[in-house]
Structure 1
């Protein structure tokens, strides 16, 4: 990114991902504060180790309700509401099925249909009982698991943005391993330049660059975690109704929004809808924009209201729906 401003970059590894913070001042104390905030939130939300509030809920499945902090309760309430939307493939109770596939964790075999169906019986968001007054969460069936990983990074990115605002920072970028949230823009630049990875390309291969100001950019694609068996690709975006990877015309969806948590939510929802239904949905939600990349090498932008996009790979065709 070319800019006349000195950019101070700070990095670490948290949540199993590289974390990058860009500021326009040397401020190691603030960087440490940001990374400490991310670590604190990760410790509340992780399902990979104890103690965490989410793990406590999972361990009590079928036994008793668990008290959680207000922020975790609100995140669970949000995840349940999105999971119950009509035709939503977002399902924060799909943990038992995810563990069955092990995609991204040395998984290389296809579970039997019987095993998937048995696990899907424990993946009903309606069985997550919330008591707002007591701030408790109860998983009604033994063996149920909730997983906030699909929205945790977005939520944490928004927390970082709020902290930076509180500290009087007007220009910054935070990248939480794919969830990018920006404040302002570098001087003499149209916006923060964020590369979009080419599906199934090399690690540093970009399909294009998007420029945004005060926006979040979140991408979900089938190339992020997958395995191939007998010429068939099995990816991590699962259909909550069947338990199998969702099969449609899309390779990835990128959401441009104010809040990064919305990017997390709607990349999943719009991937499930496909291009045509996704575009129709966005027409009623003008605060959101999307970039769809299809299997037949189309890059389809819902509009250009909130971003500029430069295509870098001439094997793909760029078009704007509006």
Structure 2
């Protein structure tokens, strides 16, 4: 590596995860600006603290509409649109179910079926009323809660990317923990993003994804889960049943221009399963995916925006 190839790494813990920034020039001021921007965004969208723009909406559920900033309104509107798609496994009103399970937040028990059934009545995205003129959000039923956890990281990653571009940065990487957004290329012509081996050591990889100026978002059942009586209960919930989604997939990775698309499509495709996902991907050429299945397959429908290098011989590569 030549001096010109040196990468400077900066890290912080934000949004409950380690956040990593990589730059080609040493610039602590810029790094501080990035972390400050992420913190500001976290303060707006979090549901893990009593006060935020989203929690203001949740606290007023069933009573009053809440006027929000234009970016918050637009993100909620987009989340509602995705949530209302036919058979969508993305649901911005899934908050009550997430809090009931507490997976990833010390939850290690299965909620009672009647409790889940009661909460399902509070998770209809059509009950989110948006008023464009007043830029207000109203949750029609008391007890409803918006949770943008399935989309906020991607949105914030894109905000950081745009901020870096404004600062005249041509090459950088930001990792928000599952959401990686890149500008330009890495030291060898592309950024190398590791694809984790499910249910293994944190550093164990099944392959490396190489991208230039793209986002890589992975969602897997091994990220937050607990085991009980030989069954794994993970954090990706089915908004129709209230229970964790159960199909042949261990993880879905999305390669795209915008990280917010990665957030949206990892959830949608995970809910579809492999066969329906492959059919859907033919209609959205700007989105590419990598599927890891329970029976040890790595499925690569296409590799237009990335290249994949396998590292684990125990997995079978299925390329189209």
Alignment TM-score, normalising by the size of structure 1:
0.97
Provide the C-alpha distance between the structure 2 equivalents of 1:275 and 1:315, rounded to a whole number of angstroms.
20
Alignment partner of 1:85: what SS?
coil
Deviations 1:247-274 (A, max 9, x none): 1100000000000000000000000111
Deviations 1:256-295 (A, max 9, x none): 0000000000000000111111011011110010000000
Deviations 1:187-213 (A, max 9, x none): 4x2310010110101111111100000
2:289 counterpart of 1:290: yes
Task: Give the aligned partner of residue 27 of structure 2.
Answer: 27
> How many Å apart are 1:177 and its aligned residue?
1.1
Contact in 1 for aligned 2:235/2:244 (Cα 8 Å)? yes
> How many Å apart are 1:3 and its aligned residue?
9.3
Task: Give the aligned partner of residue 176 of structure 2.
Answer: 176
Structure 1 runs (4+) deviating above 4 angstroms are 1-4
2:132 counterpart of 1:166: no
Structural mapping, 1:164-313, within 5 Å: 164-187=164-187, 189-313=188-312
Alignment partner of 1:93: what SS?
coil
Provide the C-alpha distance between the structure 2 equivalents of 1:37 and 1:221, rounded to a whole number of angstroms.
27
Provide the C-alpha distance between the structure 1 equivalents of 2:49 and 2:3, rounded to a whole number of angstroms.
41
Alignment partner of 1:150: what SS?
coil
Task: Give the aligned partner of residue 152 of structure 1.
Answer: 152
Structure 2 unaligned residues grouped into runs of 5+: none
Alignment partner of 2:150: what SS?
helix
Contact in 2 for aligned 1:101/1:111 (Cα 8 Å)? yes
Provide the C-alpha distance between the structure 2 equivalents of 1:110 and 1:2, rounded to a whole number of angstroms.
54
Provide the C-alpha distance between the structure 2 equivalents of 1:46 and 1:217, rounded to a whole number of angstroms.
22
Deviations 1:218-255 (A, max 9, x none): 00000011111100111111110000111110000000
2:51 counterpart of 1:57: no
> How many Å apart are 1:105 and its aligned residue?
1.4
Alignment partner of 2:173: what SS?
strand
Alignment TM-score, normalising by the size of structure 2:
0.98
Contact in 2 for aligned 1:3/1:186 (Cα 8 Å)? no
Contact in 1 for aligned 2:186/2:192 (Cα 8 Å)? no
> How many Å apart are 1:301 and its aligned residue?
0.8
Deviations 1:149-193 (A, max 9, x none): 111110000000001111111100000011000001024x23100
Provide the C-alpha distance between the structure 1 equivalents of 2:90 and 2:141, rounded to a whole number of angstroms.
20
Provide the C-alpha distance between the structure 1 equivalents of 2:4 and 2:171, rounded to a whole number of angstroms.
14
Task: Give the aligned partner of residue 78 of structure 1.
Answer: 78
Contact in 2 for aligned 1:100/1:111 (Cα 8 Å)? yes
> How many Å apart are 1:51 and its aligned residue?
2.3
Provide the C-alpha distance between the structure 1 equivalents of 2:288 and 2:97, rounded to a whole number of angstroms.
30
> How many Å apart are 1:2 and its aligned residue?
10
Provide the C-alpha distance between the structure 2 equivalents of 1:190 and 1:294, rounded to a whole number of angstroms.
30
Task: Give the aligned partner of residue 38 of structure 1.
Answer: 38
Task: Give the aligned partner of residue 319 of structure 2.
Answer: 320
Provide the C-alpha distance between the structure 1 equivalents of 2:100 and 2:49, rounded to a whole number of angstroms.
18
Provide the C-alpha distance between the structure 1 equivalents of 2:98 and 2:254, rounded to a whole number of angstroms.
24
Compared CA separation, residues 29 and 131, structure 1 to 2 (3 A): same
Provide the C-alpha distance between the structure 2 equivalents of 1:227 and 1:128, rounded to a whole number of angstroms.
31
Compared CA separation, residues 258 and 2, structure 1 to 2 (3 A): farther
